[in-house]
Amino acid sequence: MSLLLLASAATGYFGFDQKLPTYLQVPVQPLMGRASVVDGDTIEIHGERVRINGIDAPESAQICKDAKGANYRCGAVAAAALAEYLERSSPTRCEFVDRDRYGRFVGNCRRADGKNIAEWLARNGHALDWPRYSNGTYASHQSAAKKERIGVWSGSFQPPWDWRAQQRGETAEPPIDRQSEEPATTTPSYGLVSSSGCRIKGNIAADGDRIYHMPDQKLYAKTKITASKGERWFCSEAEARQAGWRPARQ
């Protein structure tokens, strides 16, 4: 196939394989088949690892606290719940969005009955809406799960992106409490959110530059918000950009 044909074929909802040079990019076809679960937000179809787009589930080794304050393996619970959910309506279909830094297929996935898998995970408290990649798509489903105190919202937990940061030895802050979504004081310190539940930090530098930091960025945990200086929280990147903030470089 000529390069011209390759370029012209890349239309519609198909994404591009980011690992190839631009001039050799080809359409990435949707994946469809019986899915096996790797963890709460990752599945495998026909040998291809698929990271479900827009949400972040607890990691396999992650520990949360239930309503009584007892530890439990919330990552394992999320994975088991996802496996049962997919088994009830197979095959699974995932449409390509991007490649992540590990080369995994990132996709929007649905069961055979058309139900959105990321939506179900957020709605049942097995995963969090990930604003950096979702633009708040699953925030309302997450809020419903929080209100009903189901899944991780039944107790206290560390957001998965903060848990991974802690494993890398980065600074962490207090965990999310099920009722206020403010830091809890009885468990190890992890990721902080605003009282409204918005997680993007809008910081103002000494030179007046307005910069927003996403939860999984390097300097996020060290960035403090001082409202008296005009600093603030944002619920989406679009909101931050519209207000005049630019993304942090790291």
Q: Tell me, what's the pLDDT at 18? A: 45
Shared domain for 135 and 14, answered yes or no, is yes
Shared domain for 12 and 104, answered yes or no, is yes
Distances (CA, A) of 186 to 42, 105, 147, 155, 160: 31, 38, 21, 12, 19
Shared domain for 142 and 211, answered yes or no, is no
Q: Output phi, psi for 2, to 5 deg.
A: -70, 160
- Asked if the structure places residue 128 within a domain, the reply is yes
The Cα 226–Cα 185 span in angstroms is 21
Q: Tell me, what's the pLDDT at 95? A: 96
Shared domain for 115 and 204, answered yes or no, is no
Q: Tell me, what's the pLDDT at 246? A: 92
**Domains held by the chain: number:** 2
Shared domain for 104 and 222, answered yes or no, is no
The Cα 59–Cα 39 span in angstroms is 7
Number of H helices, E strands in the chain: 7, 16
Strands 64-65 and 55-56: unpaired
- Give the structural domain span for 212: 200-247
Helix (H) or strand (E) holding 202: strand 200-204
Q: Tell me, what's the pLDDT at 168? A: 74
The answer to pTM > 0.85 is: no
Residue 115 DSSP code:
-
Mean pLDDT by 10 residues, the chain (250 residues): 37 39 58 96 95 95 91 95 97 94 92 98 96 91 95 92 79 48 32 55 88 85 80 82 86
- Asked if the structure places residue 20 within a domain, the reply is yes
- Asked if the structure places residue 220 within a domain, the reply is yes
Shared domain for 46 and 117, answered yes or no, is yes
Helix (H) or strand (E) holding 39: strand 36-39
Distances (CA, A) of 73 to 51, 78, 104, 111: 20, 9, 25, 26
Q: Tell me, what's the pLDDT at 27? A: 61
Shared domain for 132 and 9, answered yes or no, is yes
Shared domain for 14 and 128, answered yes or no, is yes
Shared domain for 73 and 139, answered yes or no, is yes
Q: Tell me, what's the pLDDT at 24? A: 38
CATH number where 44 lies = 2.40.50.90
